[in-house]
Structure 1
Amino acid sequence: MRGAGAEAGAGAGATLTAPQPQVSGPAPAGQPAYRAYRPELQGLRALAVILVVCYHVWLGRISGGVDVFFVITGFLITGQLHRAITRGGIRFGPLWGRIIKRLFPAALTVLAGVILAGYLFLPQHRWFSTIEHVFASALYFENWQLAAESTDYFAQQNSASLPQHFWSLSIQGQFYLLMPIVVALVAFVARKAGWGLRSPLLVTMTLLFAGSLAYSVWLTATNQPLAYFHSLTRVWEFMLGGLLALSINHLVLPRGLRILLGWLGVAGLVCCGLLLQVGTVFPGYAALWPTMAAVLVLLAGATESRLGADRWLSSRPLEFLGDISYSLYLWHWPVLLMYLTVRHQEEVGLKGGAVIIVASFVLAIATYYLIEEPARRSRFGLKRTWGGYAFGAVLLVPVLLLTQGWQLHSERLATAGAVAAGDPNYPGAMAIDGGAADMAAYDAEPAPSLINLPYEWNKFSDRECEMSRRGHKMKICKTTNGATAKKRIVVVGDSHAQLYTGALDPLVEPNDWQAYSIIRGGCPFSTDSELIKESQACVDYNAALVEELREIDPDAVVTMASYQVSKGRTERTPEGFVAQWRKLASAGIPVVAFRDNPRYDFEPSACADDLGARSPRCSGVRAELYPEVPSYERIPGVPGNVRFVDLSDYFCDGPTCPPIIGNVRVYMDDNHITQTYMNTLAPVMERELTTALGW
């Protein structure tokens, strides 16, 4: 759901200090008389709101509405700042104070609701991630939180977050902070040079538009997930609206053309999300589609014709939707996610979607009339220059305190759920050999605790890490007992190979082994890019990794023998795996390759918590996952330096692959094994390694 959630909430900041969209300046000849109030702009906002909500709820897609709101925001604030300069200057304190007073009440109300709903209904393993996102959203850097996660393979495994739609509000908040400073600096230079304001401002905004658009196109092509949330890739959308605000009253267009432009803009907005995969190609040049559609609607303006799109956009229902658009955006995404969470569903269906939309409307209307409007009309915070900041602090501090309280409570639960090594209540994989894999044999609660699942990534407990001098973002971690080690073992590959560091970790000290891990998420040890299509970076990384291994000259390399063990018996051993093994064979390096563990389209641990560990819905069927003959036994040309190990008997107990074995939760998500469970595999790992290598 992350792709869809990326867009939600974008409409919040489209109004700066009041819900009425305004522009300034006299109307040129041939245009209708200037109106300070533009109800068709409210209708444009309403259209974008409806599109985003419906696309999210029923289609699971992104509509491009967020880009429309960025244009509207740039259009409105540029006009306001231009007027402020011509009237004597920008008063920064009152300006930002009014913005805080306009935006904080509804946003922080929703975040408080997210905290309450998250605590009551979210699975505990999603608490820490949600807390991080609430904190980032409250302080307006949620887009950077998501940008960081988009470049972190392990963070990408997180589920969609309740407040992640605040990323767009964060970018708008950053724009509100910086744009007045930019305009003031341009005005200062223009005044010193004896120039007027409009032309220098047009030049400055054009340069910002061009630079940001070029950067957006480049970054979208090279790292689209990062580009989607990056502030600098969105600047051009605000600038587009600002350039229009400075130019619109100097453009003379025939009424017939404006009628046509209005409907072209509306049609472009409606079909954008249907014809483009917005979540995978935006922002870049593709975002010109919805932004230019918004520009066409704004250019059309008030046609005073019954055939004009503005007649429909100015209707009272759409005007009302424009009024509540901020609250509707804020509420619809958490309502959608909570519905899916509580009902254990991936999709909502027609009736479920209607329930979500109605609930979102009810909450939005209540928030508008009980929170937004009273706060906007209140004189609180306006008597003093910096009063708006005090008003904001009164609202912000309680939300931050609630977030911190939830964090401390979660940390206490996590500490209480820790399991000591060798605890007989948690034999894990060893229960398979002992015949007591069923959780009914134990009195204690399963481990690790649900709240600890996000932190169950396998790693060495005592290690030091450094970046390889070969580059390629190659991170080399190793245990710190190198001086006394008799054997050196290197684990290489993707996150599934990393799982075996958890089984190796307890063996390092007693066996005098030194263990290395050289891991790149989503990049198995292969000569080809197996998981990320046509990733040259992965191919180059693996080529450099072979050279690194030759230099380390380990006694053994541990990696994966197969991947994609999932329903339908899709297990594969690509030729690229074998090609890498041959390179190590030429260097005389032994390889121990492990058969992959199952991957699911659900999270077994969370399912067991919801439905019970014995629910058939929470277990895999071995015959549907593993082919009778492993894929690596069906591929020719395997070099003699490779030994295969099949631990499928420890992921599946007989015909089923349960979520809990030996009172230990097997999975941290839908395909990665918990470190707690892998630690219990240490005796098996020791036996298999020493047998395979003849140690």
Structure 2
Amino acid sequence: MTAMRPDPVEPTSGPVPHVASTASTADTERARRFRPELQGLRALAVVLVVAYHVWFGRVSGGVDVFFVISGFLITGQLFRSAARGKLRFRPMWARQAARLLPAAFTVLLACAVAGALLLPEARWQQTLHELFASAVFLENWQLAADSVDYAAQHNTQSVVQHFWSLSIQVQFYIVWPLLIALVALVAGQARERLRAHLLLTLSGLFAASLTFSVALTITNQPLAYFHSLTRVWEFALGGLLALTIDAIALPRRWRIALGWIGVVGLVACGALLRVDAVFPGVAALWPTGAACLVLIAGMTGSRIGADRILASRPVKYLGDLSYALYLWHWPVLIFFLVVRNQETVGVRGGLAIIAVSVALAVLTHHVVEEPIRRGPLTDRARWRGAAAGLALVLLAGGVWQFEAAQRANETATVGDSRHPGAMAVHAGAIDDVDPSVELIPPMVSAPDDFYRFPGWACAPMTHYPTSEACTMPLPDPAVPPAKRIVVVGDSHSQQYSAALAPVAQRNNWELVDMLKGACPFSTASEVDPANQDCVNWNAAVVDEIADLHPDAVFTLASRDVRAGLTEVTPPGFVAAWQRMNELGIPVIAVRDNPRFDPSFSPPDCLQQRGRGAPECGQPRADVYGPIPPYQVAPDVPPNVTFLDFSDHLCNAALCPAEIGNVLVYMDFNHVSATYMTSLAPVVEERLHQTLGW
């Protein structure tokens, strides 16, 4: 399934005060009591969100629209309360809790139960982390942390990932009243003075947040997408509109035009922009501006106005369902893809997903949301209900976590007769392995089965202090190391540390890792040509290695080992080796392992299709050519020794997902630490043969 980020939706809140100017005083007074077109705007946004997610694998820009609506509504409400001197936090937060939490906790509880029953075990731990983060409305920060953790950047989409947006909204609902109260304390209750102070404050927040959003989107867009502070300007924009909209007096024909421009702009946004790749920077002004135009247009009363459709009874009802529909559609979509073992949905599958989501939304709205929101509950009862809902979600997650931990502890020792891993290939006994023996690592542990330097000493690099060099402890610190090897490059170099570590321990070698995600050792930025930071890091690593002057450097010899691509040895690799040659340092360059499509998970495939399923691997001819590219690369210096373990990752026809009862891959492109550990004797033998150590 194409990577995408779910859009959020603002929950319905019943009658909405209207503060826009209309053609007459009477019309204005009526409009101030209710804004039916705003519910229609919610309905339109949620329809776009669902359709774009289900059929197009894209996001629609609805996240930004709903953040503007949130800022518009709550700022207007808080301003009026503060001006009357009746700004009370606890009742207000209790009402918000009654609106937001029942449906949210219902969906989270359902996701916990269904996830334990339907999701492949390899997806359990990630889903559990996000489930707990979503339950306390910190999911956006969980995803932000994953976005800067290279090992987590290839996580599959979880069934609760869409709670990132609701998390930001809840954080906003907590902080915004405190901000308004602080401004009111300074400005006093004089209405126009309070308005002026709020306009100044929100304008400053708008400018600061938008500037930060644009800057962070340029330098680290995935982090910017989930960062709370990059979204403040969208809430502030809605607040600014709430404070000024009653001063906007436009002719009716202009408002009709603005309404349609806003609607068309919102529909076109997701189709014309890659929202998930360029937001929330300056491009997010498109959907937020479209939302503002619809709000400014208000109720025109015209037969040809967009508000006639937005305010119609069916559309308004869909707006009432929008919050629950948003909460349900994403997990229904993900569970459908998992159960059907598909990456995309067709027309009929999409209609089925939407139908189930709407049915669940109707049930949730009438059975859960409305009785609690409209029932005669005290604030204390509402808080107790919220605590009970949270407890149920955490309890369900805790039971699931306990089961995951139990399965993760069901481990065996790699390298024994039951789990030979790579040694089954090396000994020519791969057909003698009993396929009924359980795989290691356990499926539930597979996504975390990556070598991360346990007990190593890590310290900032001298020439690049924001990056660390990690050194494995010597068996006997009193005995100088016999050899020193520096492992340098990206995660595909790092994974070989699992094979090199036991070799270094046995031979009293010092192992030092200098690594940066998506930055293989080269004079160029191979993964992203525009990433100058990668070039700078590699230049600093050369200086670092020159200072250390190890006995050898271990790095990659090739890349692009994937179906549809041609394995290459980039000129930048060769240039980096030449620099090592100038320093008199040998290079050990290893051929890269096969990679699968990013949407494919070998562990999931094995669990869904069964052990030994050939479709969980890939044909060797699709990824490896008969001659490694480095053998024909020009200007390869004499200091380079090449190692090729492709025969231990593939047989003559297939690169399988399991070998010797060991899971080969932890995700779509990294070899598991367990399998790499089983490769250690082969690595040791090759190093002794080729280097004479």
| Residue 486 of structure 2 corresponds to residue 490 of structure 1 | yes
Write the distance in 2 (CA, Å) between the matches of 1:472 and 1:566.
34
The match for 1:108 is: 105
The match for 1:432 is: 425
SS in 1 for 2:188: helix
The match for 2:524 is: 528
Please give the per-residue CA displacement for 1:30-69, whole angstroms capped at 9, x wherever unaligned.
7832321111000000000000100010011111011111
| TM-score, normalised via structure 1 length | 0.96
**How many Å apart are 1:28 and its aligned residue?**
8.0
Write the distance in 1 (CA, Å) between the matches of 2:452 and 2:70.
46
The match for 1:560 is: 556
Aligned partner of 2:466 among 441, 456, 473 = 473
| Residue 508 of structure 2 corresponds to residue 512 of structure 1 | yes
Contact 2:2 2:57 in 1 (8 A): no
| TM-score, normalised via structure 2 length | 0.96
Moved over 6 A (4+): 25-28, 192-195
SS in 1 for 2:27: coil
SS in 2 for 1:32: helix
Write the distance in 2 (CA, Å) between the matches of 1:60 and 1:50.
14
Relative to structure 1, the CA distance from residue 111 to residue 160 in structure 2 (aligned partners, 3 Å threshold; closer, same or farther) is: same
The match for 1:448 is: 441
The match for 2:383 is: 389
Alignment of 1:205-244 (within 5 A): 205-244=202-241
SS in 2 for 1:649: helix
**How many Å apart are 1:198 and its aligned residue?**
1.1
Write the distance in 2 (CA, Å) between the matches of 1:475 and 1:19.
54
Higher mean displacement: 465-474 or 276-285: 465-474
Write the distance in 2 (CA, Å) between the matches of 1:513 and 1:633.
29
SS in 2 for 1:196: helix
The match for 1:270 is: 267
SS in 1 for 2:487: strand
**How many Å apart are 1:604 and its aligned residue?**
2.1
| Residue 307 of structure 2 corresponds to residue 314 of structure 1 | no
The match for 1:414 is: 408
Relative to structure 1, the CA distance from residue 568 to residue 194 in structure 2 (aligned partners, 3 Å threshold; closer, same or farther) is: closer
**How many Å apart are 1:180 and its aligned residue?**
0.6
**How many Å apart are 1:276 and its aligned residue?**
0.8
Contact 1:507 1:682 in 2 (8 A): yes
| Residue 685 of structure 2 corresponds to residue 690 of structure 1 | no
Please give the per-residue CA displacement for 1:652-681, whole angstroms capped at 9, x wherever unaligned.
122211111111110111111111111111
The match for 1:620 is: 618
| Residue 395 of structure 2 corresponds to residue 401 of structure 1 | yes
| Residue 153 of structure 2 corresponds to residue 156 of structure 1 | yes
**How many Å apart are 1:381 and its aligned residue?**
3.4
Please give the per-residue CA displacement for 1:52-108, whole angstroms capped at 9, x wherever unaligned.
100010011111011111111111101111121122221101111111111100000
Contact 1:569 1:627 in 2 (8 A): no
Write the distance in 2 (CA, Å) between the matches of 1:370 and 1:578.
66
Aligned partner of 1:80 among 73, 77, 80 = 77
| Residue 123 of structure 2 corresponds to residue 126 of structure 1 | yes
Write the distance in 1 (CA, Å) between the matches of 2:548 and 2:148.
28
Relative to structure 1, the CA distance from residue 461 to residue 176 in structure 2 (aligned partners, 3 Å threshold; closer, same or farther) is: closer
SS in 2 for 1:110: helix
Write the distance in 1 (CA, Å) between the matches of 2:209 and 2:142.
21
SS in 2 for 1:146: helix
SS in 1 for 2:78: helix
Alignment of 1:121-200 (within 5 A): 121-191=118-188, 196-200=193-197
SS in 2 for 1:490: strand
SS in 2 for 1:578: helix
Letter in 1 for 2:412: V
Letter in 1 for 2:124: W
Letter in 2 for 1:20: P
Contact 1:490 1:515 in 2 (8 A): yes
Write the distance in 2 (CA, Å) between the matches of 1:663 and 1:561.
28
Relative to structure 1, the CA distance from residue 569 to residue 227 in structure 2 (aligned partners, 3 Å threshold; closer, same or farther) is: closer
Higher mean displacement: 20-29 or 80-89: 20-29
Relative to structure 1, the CA distance from residue 90 to residue 26 in structure 2 (aligned partners, 3 Å threshold; closer, same or farther) is: farther
**How many Å apart are 1:121 and its aligned residue?**
0.7
The match for 1:21 is: 16
| Residue 576 of structure 2 corresponds to residue 580 of structure 1 | yes
Write the distance in 1 (CA, Å) between the matches of 2:71 and 2:489.
46
Letter in 1 for 2:301: E
**How many Å apart are 1:290 and its aligned residue?**
0.5
Relative to structure 1, the CA distance from residue 168 to residue 637 in structure 2 (aligned partners, 3 Å threshold; closer, same or farther) is: same
**How many Å apart are 1:390 and its aligned residue?**
2.0
The match for 1:646 is: 644
Letter in 1 for 2:462: R
The match for 1:6 is: 6
SS in 1 for 2:471: strand
The match for 1:301 is: 298
Write the distance in 1 (CA, Å) between the matches of 2:9 and 2:191.
38
Higher mean displacement: 389-398 or 433-442: 433-442
Relative to structure 1, the CA distance from residue 459 to residue 138 in structure 2 (aligned partners, 3 Å threshold; closer, same or farther) is: closer
Relative to structure 1, the CA distance from residue 460 to residue 662 in structure 2 (aligned partners, 3 Å threshold; closer, same or farther) is: same
Write the distance in 1 (CA, Å) between the matches of 2:515 and 2:282.
34
Relative to structure 1, the CA distance from residue 75 to residue 439 in structure 2 (aligned partners, 3 Å threshold; closer, same or farther) is: farther
Write the distance in 2 (CA, Å) between the matches of 1:162 and 1:359.
15
| Residue 459 of structure 2 corresponds to residue 463 of structure 1 | no
Alignment of 1:276-295 (within 5 A): 276-295=273-292
Contact 1:569 1:626 in 2 (8 A): no
Write the distance in 2 (CA, Å) between the matches of 1:193 and 1:104.
35
Aligned partner of 2:596 among 595, 600, 606 = 600
| Residue 654 of structure 2 corresponds to residue 656 of structure 1 | yes
Contact 1:564 1:572 in 2 (8 A): yes
Aligned partner of 1:259 among 250, 256, 260 = 256
Relative to structure 1, the CA distance from residue 195 to residue 269 in structure 2 (aligned partners, 3 Å threshold; closer, same or farther) is: closer
**How many Å apart are 1:434 and its aligned residue?**
2.4
Write the distance in 1 (CA, Å) between the matches of 2:191 and 2:157.
53
Relative to structure 1, the CA distance from residue 99 to residue 338 in structure 2 (aligned partners, 3 Å threshold; closer, same or farther) is: same
The match for 2:28 is: 33
Higher mean displacement: 343-352 or 599-608: 599-608
The match for 2:92 is: 95
Letter in 2 for 1:559: T
Letter in 2 for 1:79: G
Write the distance in 1 (CA, Å) between the matches of 2:304 and 2:414.
75
Relative to structure 1, the CA distance from residue 395 to residue 106 in structure 2 (aligned partners, 3 Å threshold; closer, same or farther) is: same
Relative to structure 1, the CA distance from residue 595 to residue 3 in structure 2 (aligned partners, 3 Å threshold; closer, same or farther) is: closer
Write the distance in 2 (CA, Å) between the matches of 1:672 and 1:439.
26
**How many Å apart are 1:246 and its aligned residue?**
1.1
The match for 2:370 is: 373
SS in 2 for 1:4: coil
Letter in 1 for 2:579: K
The match for 1:45 is: 42
**How many Å apart are 1:193 and its aligned residue?**
9.5
**How many Å apart are 1:605 and its aligned residue?**
2.5
**How many Å apart are 1:533 and its aligned residue?**
3.0
**How many Å apart are 1:506 and its aligned residue?**
1.4
Letter in 2 for 1:600: F
The match for 1:570 is: 566
Where structure 2 has 5 or more consecutive residues not aligned to the other structure, the ranges are none
SS in 2 for 1:164: coil
Write the distance in 2 (CA, Å) between the matches of 1:129 and 1:487.
39
SS in 2 for 1:477: strand
**How many Å apart are 1:26 and its aligned residue?**
8.2
Write the distance in 1 (CA, Å) between the matches of 2:310 and 2:179.
33
Letter in 2 for 1:527: T
Write the distance in 2 (CA, Å) between the matches of 1:176 and 1:463.
43
Relative to structure 1, the CA distance from residue 79 to residue 652 in structure 2 (aligned partners, 3 Å threshold; closer, same or farther) is: same
Q: What is the aligned residue count? A: 686
